[in-house]
Every structure is written in structure tokens, then in C-alpha cells.
Amino acid sequence: EAGVTQFPSHSVIEKGQTVTLRCDPISGHDNLYWYRRVMGKEIKFLLHFVKESKQDESGMPNNRFLAERTGGTYSTLKVQPAELEDSGVYFCASSQDVLGNYGYTFGSGTRLTVV
């Protein structure tokens, strides 16, 4: 089965610009998660979708971040306007069940650099 796909793999943008990250979960996985790792820090939770609904967005840092999952398939994470501190690796994960009894499958991530 195809894994979780994220693109772009790398993005370099200037401060103040807009960037949109995309995640395609494993087919049939209703649960989709966004995480990010800022340099030198641990991976941190951003939000959780169940199908197209936001189940938990407690980790979203501020209102410059907007996540969508129209139709309950792929998801996008938009950062507008980007700031220097948004640099990091953004991971998407999906799971068959919310409890993760079969694990959460992660994508390879998008490395975002804001200059």
C-alpha cells in the first residue's frame, strides 16, 4: 500500500510570503494529523482531522496557520504570512483508527525554511 505522501519535500520562502503544504494520507485512513519539528526541539502535535472535521487543533501555534481537509481525503496546511520561527520540518501522519492500535504512519515531511 502507498504510504503517506507529502509535498513539497523542501520549500524556501521569504518572510511574509505564503506557503501551502500538502499531505495525502493512506487511502481509507480517516484520521490525519499534522506535527512539526522546529530545529533543536522535539516533534510537536499541531492538529488532528477525523475525515473533514477538526477533532483537535490545540497545537496550532497561531492564526497564521490554516489547515483544511476538504472531502476528507488530502489535507493542506497554509502558513500566511510566514515568519522566521515557522522554519522546521512539518510531518503529516495518518491512522486507520484514532487509538493508533496499528501505529500512526508518518510521511517524510516538508522542510520549510523561512528567510
Partner 1 sequence: EDQVTQSPEALRLQEGESSSLNCSYTVSGLRGLFWYRQDPGKGPEFLFTLYSAGEEKEKERLKATLTKKESFLHITAPKPEDSATYLCAVQTSGGTSYGKLTFGQGTILTVHP
Binding site for partner 1 (CB under 8 A): 4, 31, 33, 35, 41-45, 48, 55-56, 58-59, 91, 93, 95, 98-101, 103-109
Cell of 63: 492564526
> Least separation, in Å, of the C-beta of 81 and partner 1?
27
Alpha-carbon span 88 to 113, nearest angstrom: 7
CA dist 27 and 87 (Å) reads 29
Cα(77)–Cα(90) distance, integer angstroms: 9
Residue 17 or 87: the one with the smaller Cβ distance to partner 1 is 87
Closer by beta carbon to partner 1, 88 or else 107: 107
For partner 1, which is the closer residue by CB, 62 or 101?
Answer: 101
- Write down the least CB distance from residue 23 to partner 1, Å: 11
Q: How far is the CB of 115 from partner 1 (least distance, A)?
A: 21
Cell, residue 48: 488532528
Query: Smallest distance, Å, CB 5 to partner 1?
Result: 11
* DSSP structure string for 56-83: E-TT--STTEEEE-GGGS-EEEEESS--
In this structure, what are the phi and psi dihedrals at residue 40, rounded to the nearest 5 degrees?
80, 0
Nearer to partner 1, 74 or 81 (CB): 74
